[in-house]
Structure 1
Amino acid sequence: MGAAMKPSVSRIPRILAAALGAFTAGALIAPGAAPAGPDRPDPSGKDAPKPPPRPPERDMSKTGKDPAKAPPGLGPPSKAVTNEILDAIAEEMTRAMTQLEIPGALKPYHIAYKITEVDVNDCAASLGFTTSRRNRHFVNLEARVRVGSPQLDNGNFVVPGAEELNAVSTINMPLEATPRIARRSAWLVTDAAYKEGLIQLRAKLESRKTSGAKPDIPGWTTEKPVVSDEAVLVPPLESLDELEGRAKTLSAAFRDQPAIRESRVAVTSYLERRWYLTTEGTNIADTRRASGILIVASGQAEDGQLLHQYFLRYGHTAKDLPSEDELKGETKRLVGNIAALQKAPVMDHYSGPVLFEGEGAVGLIRSTLAPHLGGTPVPEGLNPQEAKTFGGALTDKVGLRVMSPNLSIGDDPTAKEGAGKALIGGYRIDDEGVAAQRVEVVKDGVLKTLLTSRTPSAKNQASNGHARRTAEGGAFHGSATNLFVTSKGGVARKALEQRLAGVAQGEGLKFGVVIRRFDDAAVTSAPEFARRELYALIKSTDQQLPPPTILAYKIYPSGKEELVRGVQLAEVPIRAWKDVLGTSKEITVYNFLASPESALQLRLTGGTDEGFVPSSGIESGIITPDLLFKELDLGGSAAGERPAPLLPKPGK
């Protein structure tokens, strides 16, 4: 589901407001800055205009369906967010558009509300015993306000020293909210977002005046409103009892395993309902449903290096997840991998052909290619170091060859499956109210376009329905969702391994390297560092590099494989994708939740969701063959080293 939401209504810093000089701090925070509360009379004596009518409810009697009953296999519609709640929020939206203003200041020209209902069942267990069990169910209301005009507004700008000011405000509503509560909630968040928008716009104008910049690119695109009264019903959640039983059974397999330092199994089942209302007329709902399982184990080598292994799968429901026998097999495989890694040699520096197999190919795409597929401009106000995190290596290469001619890439948020397996990254409408669209990004190695949001760039003047990743400044950035990498001339996986060894031998190398899995800090992190270890971690982590590998092998011409550890892939330049020598016939489908936090942040804070299966982030999927690169650099990694325990593991 989307990034974690907190029940906070923004507050405007008085000092910052005064420093900007646009308005007095008192004017910005005065109660009179907003229309009177929804349950008080309008001081002007005028009644608030009525909102545009909502789309009529479908006449269920004509379809022979009982509106109180969901179709077989599907759960009921929301009981917390009703049509009456949505009508109340729409009324407040109309009132704000006509009455919300500060004397002498610009009025809003666009208001958008996203109402999100999240219902999650989570269980975690270790060594056969439950460690956590919970249900989370809440409703969140988010307001986004744009001030100025589509040509120049407050959007996509980071206020120096006050990055949290972004004209976005959120509040949690009670599950039993009434229309009156909904109106008051909308009133509060709209007022806060509007005031932030004024400060943000003023700071943006001052920044441009100081720098002399005169961008001629509009700040916001005009898109066709999307209207639908069709509810999206999904299967009900798996029960907490069902999840707990599965977690306890699988976690018991780690008992009496001398190679394992820590282990856990977590299972989740969640749904996320979203409703979008905008002053442009967009009025639509969407629902996302997923189930997931996470198996994590860690050990330690004699030199102190921590060894992580994990198995993570998502599907639409538990039926899409591996069977119990398959999961038990994966558990044994994790134990075997850690035991083997404890004895494996540390990798020396290497420069030569590298093959990325299975989840290794997914990890490579996720960390080194996907961040560059977005076409949204970097927010103004960021320093060069911060701007690097937004990718952008392909921004000026549309129409040019950027990959091997054998490769093509498409992103399809409308897809429900890939290679016969469930994909969780789909949606009807993106986070800016634009309908989902399939986009051909790369065709036969040539970059055709990028994934865009409603914040235009010089080469992309319209959204293609991929606004999903929020960034500093409040703007959504175009992001991948269900990313399909396809190729021509694929061969069997074993044949590709033989080609790897042959290319390495031709370059005078004794072996080639295959990478089969990267670390994922969102699931393997644990907040157990001492102060000294935290300092060492921060000093030694290069945030520009891909995550460390946790499964890598040397492949010799004879076909022999040798497991190695401590392998760190160097930065992979975009030009390296031109030298993909081959691909496999085998296709890997992998779902994950893309975290907005960096790997270092996740490592420092202990990952996401307190040891549960991640259920906060951007639902994403990658479908790809194995990828053989002509030449990449690898080095050793010291990340994760810590003193081994002085005493042996306690007995029974």
Structure 2
Amino acid sequence: MAAAPAQDPRLVLLDAMASELTRSQQQLKLQSHEAPYFLSYQLKDYDQQVIAARYGAIFLDDGYRERRLYVDSRVGGYDFDSSVAEGLDFSFSTKGTSYTSRKEGPLDDSPLALRTALWLITDEKYKSALFQYLKKKGEDVYSVEDPKRPPSFSKEKPSSFVQPRVANPFDRERWLKLSRDVSALFNAHPELFDSEVRVTADKVTRLFVSTEGTRLVTEETLYGLHVSAVTRAPDGQLLDDSRDFYAPTEAGLPDDTRVREAAAKVIEELLALRQAPAIDPYTGPAILAPEASGVLFHEAVGHRLEGDRQDGDNEGKTFKGQVGRQVLPSFLTIVDDPTQRMLAGEPLNGFYLFDEEGVKGQKVTLVEKGVLRNYLLGRRPVEGFLQSNGHGRSQGNLKPVARMANLIVESTKQVSDAKLKQMLIDEAKRQGKPYGLIIRDITGGNTNTSNYGYQAFKGVPRMVYRVDVKTGQETLVRGVEIVGTPLSAVNRILATGQKQGIFNGFCGAESGNVPVSTVAPAALLQEIELQRAVEGKDRPPILSSPAASQAPAVQQKP
């Protein structure tokens, strides 16, 4: 007689989570107080491999595995409940905080151990939720009633989904050899005093259950390959450069030849940057290449369209109440689409099936022909938008908030690269500027959306070229950072290029680092402000690198 097929251990654990959830839903209640009206359990199983090489040798060859647990316990009702911002669960309370439960799950597939861990966290979360609910009700005595106050939590239809297993191979020997070989290429250039080749493979298996009836099993894999190096200019400024590749499969990472070419490009650019002149702060027209343009939209617009930014006493609420109004030039449309895995053959980091609140990821049009249409929404409603569109995201067991996924910028005012450059020169002449700028690469950026600081953003450009208005000649320069106020910057876009570029990476916010992509064309800005970057005055290493004496001599031409 054939043996019965072994049960999927993921489903065994999911059943254990559902059983403990049901027990808590039916029995968890402090005498004379409300029971939780909503509970959800999430387990994330992390499996990571990482290899890092420097100077032609392996410095890191490691892997780790962990399971992280998150429990959402809510007291009250959908209209008004106990929810508070992350980190405020025990605010102003000196009771019951002498012990904090560990938010870890067992690596063994033990239903009893998993239920026990969830039981302890649930008890802690329920008491905290009850305390916050009573505290919020008390604070309401002092607050003017707001008839437009949205509900605390959105009602969502339950989902049931079990994803087939996703393979996560890792050819350790190949990556060890390639990392050694490529990192050794930097030894021939001792001016680049530090460098690294890093290869990572991450897999996250996620189990989710809720009292609304949602039951999910999803698996995501993300591979990364990073080539980076650091040097100093003669005046002491620290300069860095890198190439970063991401793919959902190991086979999607670049082949050995492309990785070597990436290292050669990093070397070439850093040697050029060392010799490039530093420029003074600048205000004037500039072209942002697609990746740099993507960072601008991500920082200046995307974060301000996250639903959680539209509420809260500490938020600047840049776009609150602006739905239906013109907020960008009429030739621009912005969507966010976590359902899109690839674009033009390139993978997008921000793809996912369900968000961390158990809601299916959905494409949402944020800005249509310059007019604000919607926000990025998790299960925290915004006035006029009471349902989630599947953007509640978080890292590990942090509390989910509305976040970007794949932010895609589209334009109907497109011109060729040559025409865009000519428009830059013409605009610089009109403003009486001796040159315009082309920013071809950028390391990333950051922004402030709070109301206790200036509504501003900053980008850190890497490859900046000064374009002479008389000759059109491009000269590499260094030493500046992009700064500005968001609405002013994006509303000074005059035209865009024809080809979209993809910026894959990770975005950090209060709910942790999450994988994201920004897709955007090059953009010509009528005016952009660049301030002087932090000036390093440190001396480079006093002695030459030991690798310098072993590097092959370069024969000089007679």
Pair in the same fold by TM > 0.5: yes
Question: Could you tell which deviates more after superposition, 278-287 or 322-331?
Answer: 322-331
Task: Give the one of 228, 232, 257 matched to 1:300.
Answer: 232
Write out aligned runs for 1:283-294 (5 A): 283-294=215-226
Report whether the alignment pairs 1:180 with 2:104: no
Distance 1:644 1:161 in 2: 47
- The Cα shift of 1:543 comes to 10
Report whether the alignment pairs 1:435 with 2:360: yes
Classify the secondary structure of the residue corresponding to 1:353.
Answer: strand
Classify the secondary structure of the residue corresponding to 2:104.
Answer: strand
For 1:449, give the aligned amino acid.
Answer: N
* Match of residue 633 from structure 1: 529
Deviations 1:432-491 (A, max 9, x none): 11111111111111111111111112132111111115899x753222101111111422
Task: Give the one of 464, 485, 495 matched to 1:552.
Answer: 464
Deviations 1:582-616 (A, max 9, x none): 11112212221212379xxxxxxxxxxxxxxxxx8
- Structure 2 vs 1, CA of residues 650 and 179 (structure 1 numbering), >3 Å: closer, same or farther? closer
- Structure 2 vs 1, CA of residues 561 and 507 (structure 1 numbering), >3 Å: closer, same or farther? same
- The Cα shift of 1:170 comes to 5.8
Report whether the alignment pairs 1:648 with 2:543: yes
Write out aligned runs for 1:454-603 (5 A): 454-469=379-394, 476-520=400-444, 544-557=456-469, 558-596=471-509
Distance 1:310 1:170 in 2: 37
- Structure 2 vs 1, CA of residues 123 and 589 (structure 1 numbering), >3 Å: closer, same or farther? same
Contact in 2 for aligned 1:155/1:219 (Cα 8 Å): yes
Distance 1:571 1:476 in 2: 29
- Structure 2 vs 1, CA of residues 488 and 178 (structure 1 numbering), >3 Å: closer, same or farther? same
Task: Give the one of 96, 100, 108 matched to 2:36.
Answer: 108
For 1:643, give the aligned amino acid.
Answer: D
Task: Give the one of 317, 330, 350 matched to 2:262.
Answer: 330
Distance 2:292 2:256 in 1: 24
Task: Structure 2 unaligned segments of length 5 or more: list them.
Answer: 447-452, 550-558
Question: Could you tell which deviates more after superposition, 620-629 or 236-245?
Answer: 236-245
* Match of residue 251 from structure 1: 183
Classify the secondary structure of the residue corresponding to 1:248.
Answer: helix
Classify the secondary structure of the residue corresponding to 1:408.
Answer: strand
Contact in 2 for aligned 1:456/1:463 (Cα 8 Å): yes
Classify the secondary structure of the residue corresponding to 2:25.
Answer: helix
* Match of residue 95 from structure 1: 23
* Match of residue 142 from structure 1: 70
Distance 2:336 2:237 in 1: 38
Distance 2:541 2:10 in 1: 59
Distance 1:505 1:275 in 2: 59
Write out aligned runs for 1:52-451 (5 A): 81-157=9-85, 162=90, 171-212=103-144, 214=146, 216-228=149-161, 230-377=162-309, 380=312, 384=314, 387-388=315-316, 392-451=317-376
Distance 1:358 1:324 in 2: 26
Classify the secondary structure of the residue corresponding to 2:60.
Answer: strand
- The Cα shift of 1:492 comes to 2.3
For 1:91, give the aligned amino acid.
Answer: S
Distance 2:13 2:142 in 1: 45
Deviations 1:91-129 (A, max 9, x none): 111111111122232211100111111111111000110
Distance 2:108 2:442 in 1: 44
For 1:550, give the aligned amino acid.
Answer: R
- Structure 2 vs 1, CA of residues 297 and 377 (structure 1 numbering), >3 Å: closer, same or farther? closer
Distance 2:111 2:507 in 1: 34
Classify the secondary structure of the residue corresponding to 1:491.
Answer: coil
* Match of residue 537 from structure 1: none
For 2:544, give the aligned amino acid.
Answer: K
Task: Structure 1 unaligned segments of length 5 or more: list them.
Answer: 1-60, 69-76, 523-540, 599-615
* Match of residue 449 from structure 2: none
Contact in 1 for aligned 2:310/2:320 (Cα 8 Å): no
| TM-score calculated relative to the size of structure 2 | 0.88
Contact in 2 for aligned 1:426/1:482 (Cα 8 Å): yes
- The Cα shift of 1:644 comes to 0.8
- The Cα shift of 1:496 comes to 1.4
Classify the secondary structure of the residue corresponding to 2:338.
Answer: coil
Distance 2:455 2:172 in 1: 37
Classify the secondary structure of the residue corresponding to 1:547.
Answer: strand
* Match of residue 518 from structure 2: 622
Contact in 1 for aligned 2:335/2:367 (Cα 8 Å): yes
Classify the secondary structure of the residue corresponding to 2:49.
Answer: strand
Structure with more strand by fraction: 2
- Structure 2 vs 1, CA of residues 516 and 319 (structure 1 numbering), >3 Å: closer, same or farther? same
Contact in 2 for aligned 1:157/1:379 (Cα 8 Å): no
- Structure 2 vs 1, CA of residues 501 and 296 (structure 1 numbering), >3 Å: closer, same or farther? same
Distance 2:175 2:438 in 1: 35
- The Cα shift of 1:189 comes to 1.2
Distance 1:467 1:376 in 2: 10
Contact in 2 for aligned 1:471/1:477 (Cα 8 Å): no
- How many residue pairs match? The answer is 532
Classify the secondary structure of the residue corresponding to 2:225.
Answer: strand
Distance 2:290 2:49 in 1: 30
For 1:649, give the aligned amino acid.
Answer: S
Distance 2:509 2:91 in 1: 15
Classify the secondary structure of the residue corresponding to 2:53.
Answer: strand
- The Cα shift of 1:521 comes to 8.4
